[in-house]
Amino acid sequence: MEETIKQDKSKSHKEFEKLLSEDLGKRKFEEGEITTGTVEEIGKKFVFIDLGLKSSGTIPIEEFKLTKEKIEVGTKIDVLLERIENKNGEIVISREKARRAKSWKKMEKAFENKEEVKGIIISKCKGGFVVNVDSCLCFLPASQLDLRPLKNFDHLMKVPQTFECVKLDKRRGNIVLSRRAVIERIRDKDKNKIISKLKEGDVVQGLVKNLTDWGAFIDLNGVDALLHITDISWSRINKPSELLSLGQTIKVKITKIEPVKLKISVSVKHLTEDPYTKIINKYEIGKKYPVIVTKIQDYGCFAKLEDGLEGLIHQSELSWTKKNIHPGKILSPSQKIEVELIEKDVEKRRLSLSYKNTLVNPWKKFTQDYKKGDKLSGTVKNITDYGLFISIKDTELDGLVHYKDLSWSEKETELEKYNKNQQVECVILEIQPENEKIRLGVKQLADDPFEFFMDKKLSNTVTAVVHSSSQNGIYVNVGKKNLSILIKKNQLAKEVENQRPSRFVKGDKIDALITELDKDKRKVVLSIKALEDAQTKEAVKKYGSKDSGGVLGEILGPLMKNKKDKKK
């Protein structure tokens, strides 16, 4: 009997499973899809939803309280089927995720069709804000909040706003919104209407909305127009704030309209006739005129001849002598000076002025007051490797004394004898006003010691006084001006053992033969050895020959003795 009952139960269970599977097979339930269910019971913690499956799904009642959604038994709602059966055999569903999925599809459609969506900014995050669009959390970059950066944005928080979806990444689940794009679209739409009523050449009234260093923005009934600094006045100004102020109402002329870029350029100066064309013919090249310095630049100064007419004094036209000095160290703004007009270009509206041409040319005056060979005094201004720069007394000019012109010795070491601000006497060697150069000399104040050799010839014998000795030879002074000459060691004596510089003492008088003389290059070479050779040849020639068998010492002995007696 028990076996019969078990068999009947087994058959009925299998039949039930078959019918259930057939019923479920007809219903298409897929995990991750949205399906419709009916509220069958509302408990204290959960709401039970009937989906037509073998059991009911549950949703925490808090999800409905947060969204303030009103439900009652029998209400149809959409839910997301997460799992048909979990490990406990329960159905897992979510009302919140269903709303998010619907919102995502809505955002995809809005992104594809570039439609606007409504949302609420709920909080601030790194780099921007979090926006809730139908339970779908999106990112709003700070740069896309408004047309201009806002210091205070509290008035926009938790208030319904309109946004545009500018980026959507389904794989990462990221949505980027822009409130600025919506505002720009509205602004441009209104702007197009205003611009369509304007045309180039119109004279309209506007309000100074903003000032910058390079111009001003003018509000023309809701449209911003640019007034560049060069279009404010015919004369040059440093800043727009010199003539304009915020909130000021001014008349402007529309000079350019760019409908595509929605840009308008306006001008104030074009409301009046260009004074340049009227007054430029009054001024002639080569004449001098009074001006007022208006602006200092690194490359020169701008000066105003009269209202609407300015010219440039280039840096090279500021001073005859100061070449690389900053213009601000010569002239200053508002300074009244006199200039010479040296060039005018009517087409380019350019005037070139010269300040230095109204001053005394120091080069012209110097050539009138001085000539080559004149003596003058000055102060050492600078010391270089190749010479001294001298500030010439009672002038603005500098002259150069090359180190070879400091002393007749022509040694670079002569530079070490001079210091800055030291007073020196010089002779003018050369004046080149066209190249702005003056060459001076110090050694020319003294007689040239080389004059001693001007009437001498090769093989002449000269008497010298030993000044000092070194490893290379001895230094001797020749002539009244004591020209110092080095006699090399190998030229000190005929015999090698006698070529010792130590043999000679300061003050010794010696005779030497001129072996090399170049008067143009001021070069002379002396040799004691050559003199001994010459004396030997002369003695041999006079007293005998080497072939006679005579001893050279016996022949020269009396001769050398007589010579020493004469010197004593």
DSSP 323-390: -SS-GGGT--TT-EEEEEEEEEETTTTEEEEESGGGS--HHHHHHHH--TT-EEEEEEEEE-SSEEEE
Question: Per-residue pLDDT averaged across 78-96, rounded?
Answer: 73
User: Where does the pLDDT of residue 315 fall: very low under 50, low under 70, confident under 90, or very high at 90 and above?
Assistant: very high
| The pair of three-digit structure tokens given for residue 181, joined into one six-digit string | 């794009």
What is the DSSP secondary-structure string of 224-285? EEEEEGGGT-SS--S-GGGT--TT-EEEEEEEEEETTTTEEEEESGGGS--HHHHHGGG--T
Highest mean pLDDT (candidates 34-48, 94-108, 172-186, 324-338): 324-338
Percent of all residues in the chain with a pLDDT value above 70, rounded to a whole number: 86
According to DSSP, residue 168 is labeled: E
Task: Report whether pLDDT(4) > 50.
Answer: no
Decide whether 275-358 matches 449-536 in CATH topology.
Answer: yes
Domain 37-113 has CATH 3.40.718.10: no
Q: Classify residue 280 by burial, with Cβ atoms within 10 Å: 0-12, 13-18, 19+.
A: middle
Q: What is the pLDDT of residue 534?
A: 87
Highest CATH level, class, for 275-358: mainly beta
User: Where does the pLDDT of residue 340 fall: very low under 50, low under 70, confident under 90, or very high at 90 and above?
Assistant: very high
Q: Is 174 helix (H, G, I), strand (E, B) or coil?
A: strand
Q: What is the pLDDT of residue 252?
A: 92
Task: Report whether pLDDT(560) > 90.
Answer: no
Task: Report whether pLDDT(107) > 60.
Answer: yes
For residues 16 and 22, give the distance between their C-alpha atoms in angstroms, rounded to a whole number.
Answer: 10
Query: What is the residue extent of each domain of the chain?
Result: 37-113, 114-184, 198-271, 275-358, 362-445, 449-536
User: Where does the pLDDT of residue 303 fall: very low under 50, low under 70, confident under 90, or very high at 90 and above?
Assistant: very high
Task: Report whether pLDDT(9) > 70.
Answer: no
Closest CA to 159 of 131, 182, 135, 190: 131
CATH topology for the 449-536 domain: OB fold (Dihydrolipoamide Acetyltransferase, E2P) (2.40.50)
Pairing of strands 398-402, 387-392: antiparallel
Highest CATH level, class, for 198-271: mainly beta
Asked if 144 contacts 177 with a C-beta cutoff of 8 angstroms, the reply is yes
Task: Report whether pLDDT(219) > 90.
Answer: no
Q: What is the pLDDT of residue 342?
A: 93
How many CA atoms, within 13 angstroms, populate the side-chain half-sphere of residue 411?
6
Question: Per-residue pLDDT averaged across 278-286, rounded?
Answer: 85
- Summarize pLDDT for 456-501 with one digit per residue, the tens: 888 888 888 898 888 889 988 887 666 788 899 898 888 888 888 8
Q: What is the pLDDT of residue 307?
A: 78
Question: Per-residue pLDDT averaged across 319-329, rounded?
Answer: 87
| The pair of three-digit structure tokens given for residue 450, joined into one six-digit string | 């080389």
User: Where does the pLDDT of residue 274 fall: very low under 50, low under 70, confident under 90, or very high at 90 and above?
Assistant: confident
For residues 559 and 566, give the distance between their C-alpha atoms in angstroms, rounded to a whole number.
Answer: 11
Q: What is the pLDDT of residue 567?
A: 43
Domain 362-445 has CATH 3.90.79.10: no
The lowest-confidence range among 170-174, 222-226, 307-311 is 170-174
| The pair of three-digit structure tokens given for residue 419, joined into one six-digit string | 């210091």
Percent of all residues in the chain with a pLDDT value above 90, rounded to a whole number: 18
Task: Report whether pLDDT(115) > 60.
Answer: yes
Chain mean pLDDT for the chain: 82
Q: What is the pLDDT of residue 12?
A: 67
User: Where does the pLDDT of residue 332 fall: very low under 50, low under 70, confident under 90, or very high at 90 and above?
Assistant: very high
- Summarize pLDDT for 414-434 with one digit per residue, the tens: 888 899 999 999 999 999 888
Q: What is the pLDDT of residue 98?
A: 74
Question: Per-residue pLDDT averaged across 343-362, rounded?
Answer: 87
The dihedral sign for the CA sequence 156, 161, 164, 166: positive
Q: Is 177 helix (H, G, I), strand (E, B) or coil?
A: strand
Select 114-184's CATH number: 1.10.10.10, 2.40.50.140, 2.60.40.3500, 3.40.50.360: 2.40.50.140
User: Where does the pLDDT of residue 114 fall: very low under 50, low under 70, confident under 90, or very high at 90 and above?
Assistant: confident
- Summarize pLDDT for 150-173 with one digit per residue, the tens: 888 888 888 889 999 888 887 777
User: Where does the pLDDT of residue 112 fall: very low under 50, low under 70, confident under 90, or very high at 90 and above?
Assistant: confident
Pairing of strands 350-354, 309-314: parallel
- Summarize pLDDT for 14-65 with one digit per residue, the tens: 675 666 565 555 555 666 677 778 888 788 888 888 777 767 788 888 777 6
